[in-house]
Chain A
């Protein structure tokens, strides 16, 4: 608004949209809501571009806006609807495009079982390519907190998926029946 945005900044904004969207989906589990989140993020980012210094970490800045938007929406929703937690899992089975093989389905279902803060930390560090320090900055907490969330998230996933410590091959074969974790 009221401000010319340099072509390179605009290009960077567009460039970050795909990973921003993937992050949003991993937070809320729903493409439609994720797109709303990205839309709101873009809007806020655009209107606060003066608080962003070009040359610093645009991706981290956008991710911060998005997760703050998500968590503050979530708090509002919680006040309105008691069952805020059921909504994530309920949306999981409604995406026919998210087929993949059984193993990936189980993995997604297990990921959705994690507490929000653990899932966020794991995705930031394990998939979105942020360092522990950057993830801490984005989530507004200490680096140690991020490390502990990531560890807890991994342990929880391992339990949920029945992964075996003994070998990578064993880890490929879940102990429980494939698909048993998929939310119906």
Chain B
């Protein structure tokens, strides 16, 4: 796993490399209505997946990890 420091420098590097021009008006953000509109769709898309049952193979992995911890 990456250390926090490494992770941070990588993320910063990625931001600079992406070369997005410094936003001015863009940073102002959308109207509250449009933000709410986007927020609803975003949550709907996310929740649709989050409502799905956890796949069996992931539950199985947890069981196996626990068994290995008991030994």
Contacts and interface: CB of A to CB of B under 8 A. Distances in A.
Q: Do A and B bind each other?
A: yes
A158 B34 contact: yes
A141 B11 contact: yes
Given A35-B58, A43-B61, A46-B65, A126 B38 contact: yes
Interface in B3-51: 4, 7-8, 10-12, 14-15, 18, 20, 23, 26-31, 33-39, 41-51
On chain B, which size bracket covers the interface? 35 or more
A14 B34 CA distance: 35
Nearest to B37: A171
Nearest to A98: B48
A172 B7 contact: no
Secondary structure at the B interface, as helix, strand, loop or mixed, is helix
B68 A1 contact: yes
B23 A148 contact: yes
Residue of B2, B31, B34 with highest tally of chain A CB at under 10 A: B34
A21 B37 contact: no
Contact of A165 (B30, B47, B69): B30
